[in-house]
Structures are given as structure tokens and as C-alpha cells.
Amino acid sequence: MGKLTHLDEKGRALMVDVGGKEATQRTAIAEGFISMQPETLALVISGDAKKGDVLAAARIAGIMAAKKTSDIIPLCHPLALSKAAVEFAPSEKPAGLHIRAEVSVTGPTGVEMEALTAVSVAALTIYDMLKAADRAMEITGIRLAQKTGGRSGDYTAQSRGS
């Protein structure tokens, strides 16, 4: 593992200077899962949750979070994102929702944190909207699934079964 770039020679935190880096197309995909009781999942799918359309709210929250990542993650650069998308796929066994976010930018630094933040906030929004029905929901597996572009090159996570 190389030297951490967010620390100076005395170990103090700093925001990395990306001013001299070439702007390139960069994309990141993050994923996560929120498990819930089958009855809670049925509320989401039917649209009958008391607080409204759970997936619409979580999608918007995730996109907004991607756009605001530099406001909540210290030392993250503010980026003019060209894409932020959040998608959901229901699962019966185990009962829950797979969450996937894809974020893109043309710039001097990557968007991994933006994609991870989008998934995290989407999951938290789902929890918030459904907690009256199921306080035992569990958010798991949030990770970077793939990234492209930049000096470090492309990355694809191993499948969960590996």
C-alpha cells in the first residue's frame, strides 16, 4: 500500500491538490443492500408505505447526496457531476432491496465517494421511510463495485460469491 495522499509529512490532514491533473472521464458504481421483512418489501413494491413512494424518495435522496458529497465527507473535492443515477432491485430471498448508484464526471479526480454516498443515503432514506413498519431492517454490503478512468486505472470488485 502506498503513502496516504490526504496527510502531509507531519501527518496532518490536507485536501489533495488536483489542479495539475488531467481532466478525464471517470465513472464509479457502488452497491449495497437493505434487508427487511417480506411484509415490508411488499409495502415498497405495492406503493402502500405510509410515508409515500419509498423508492422515488430514496432515488432523489441518493442523487442529491452524490451532488453534496464534498459537503459531508471531509477533504472531498466538489465536483460538477455529469451523471448521478440510483436504481433498486427487489429481492425475495433474502427479502430486501439491492441498491446501485452510478456517478460520472469529466475531471481531475474520481467519483468513488459520490457513488458510495449515494448508496448510503438512499439506504438510510429507505430505512427512515419504513422504520415504523420494520425497525429490524439492516443495511449491509455497501462497497465500490466498479470504477473507470484516472491514473490508477480501472477496478472491478470480485463477485460476492468469490
Residues assigned a catalytic role: 128
How many other CB atoms are found less than 10 A from the CB of residue 9? 6
Cell matching residue 15 = 485536501
Sign of the dihedral defined by the CA atoms of residues 42, 48, 51, 53, in that order: positive
Cell of 136: 429490524
How close are the terminal C-alpha atoms of the chain, in Å?
Answer: 22
Block residue for cell numbers 409515500: 52
How far apart are alpha carbons 128 and 106 in whole angstroms?
33
Which secondary structure element, helix H or strand E, spans residue 44, and what is its range?
Answer: helix 38-46
Q: Which residue has the cell 464509479?
A: 28
